[in-house]
Amino acid sequence: MIAAPGGGKGTQGQRLAAKFGIQHVSSGEVLRAEVGAGTPSGREIAAYQQRGDLVPDRIVFDLLTPVVAAAAARGGYILDGFPRTLPQAITAADLGRRLDLTLDAAVYLNVPEPVLMQRLLARARADDTDDVIRHRLEVFTETTSPLIDYYRGRGILVEVDGDQPPESITADIQARLPDH
Ligand code: AMP
């Protein structure tokens, strides 16, 4: 799942995972859980999240790899919020190969920026303040959005209009996913 902050990755990731009976793996949640555990790496993560910066790849990979491997062993997964950079996309592909999984689709939820702002300001998460939101949107545009073309070039991009009721978005995604 690729989307700007507030784009609905979490909501759609959960809905799709429930429909397909597979695991929903949210990198943001895995990182927030580490913050909640109060470990040294959790304190490091908190500083990046509070600023709206990306957490360094090494920390993300170390925490996410075992979660992804466990999800693969249980039949597959929807990754929400990972990969977020081109190097992460390459690592995600390597990891999928090692776990004997194919990447079926990269789903991009396209949502206009004013709608994103409204949704984020209504959500009131710790990193949903005005300045931090603006910065996270910039990080998305600069660092994450190149993944859209990357997956389009590989022929697996599924782009949907993310400014619709949740059920309609899920239906659009399902209609466009490759058959098994
Ligand atoms: P999210 O819950 O997806 O909105 O992510 C919240 C925050 O967690 C982001 O602003 C980043 O600080 C961090 N984060 C989540 N996923 C990643 C990732 N794949 N790479 C680096 N940082 C991430």
DSSP for 118-148, written as a single string: HHHHHH--TT-SHHHHHHHHHHIIIIITHHH
pLDDT of residue 180: 61
pLDDT of residue 2: 98
pLDDT at 75 over 70: yes
Q: Element (H or E) spanning 108, and its range?
A: strand 106-110
Are the CB atoms for 4 and 137 separated by under 8 Å?
Answer: yes
Query: Mean pLDDT over residues 95-105, rounded?
Result: 92
| C-alpha angle 2-152-119 in degrees, rounded to nearest 5 | 25
What are the φ and ψ backbone dihedral angles of 2, each rounded to 5 degrees? -120, 130
Residue with the smallest CA separation from ligand 1 atom 5 is 28
Query: Mean pLDDT over residues 115-144, rounded?
Result: 94
Contacts of 71 (CB under 8 A, 6+ apart): 22, 23, 25, 77
**Cα(144) to centroid(ligand 1), Å:** 11
Ligand 1 interacting residues, C-beta cut-off 6 A: 5, 27-28, 31, 48-49, 52-55, 60, 81-82, 84, 88, 127, 136
- Tokens representing 54 are 């990306």
pLDDT of residue 107: 98
Q: Element (H or E) spanning 25, and its range?
A: strand 23-26
What average pLDDT does the chain have? 96
Residue with the smallest CA separation from ligand 1 atom 6 is 28
**Of the candidate ranges 21-25, 127-131, 146-150, the one whose mean pLDDT is the lowest:** 127-131
Distance from C-alpha of 154 to C-alpha of 100, rounded to nearest angstrom: 19
pLDDT at 179 over 90: no
Query: Mean pLDDT over residues 73-87, rounded?
Result: 96
pLDDT at 64 over 90: yes
pLDDT of residue 102: 86
pLDDT of residue 82: 97
DSSP SS3 for 1: coil
pLDDT-derived band at 150 (thresholds 50, 70, 90) equals: very high
pLDDT-derived band at 89 (thresholds 50, 70, 90) equals: very high
Q: Residue 37 CB: number of other CB atoms within 10 A?
A: 9
Q: Which amino acid is at 67?
A: V
Q: Residue 72 CB: number of other CB atoms within 10 A?
A: 19
**Cα(16) to centroid(ligand 1), Å:** 20
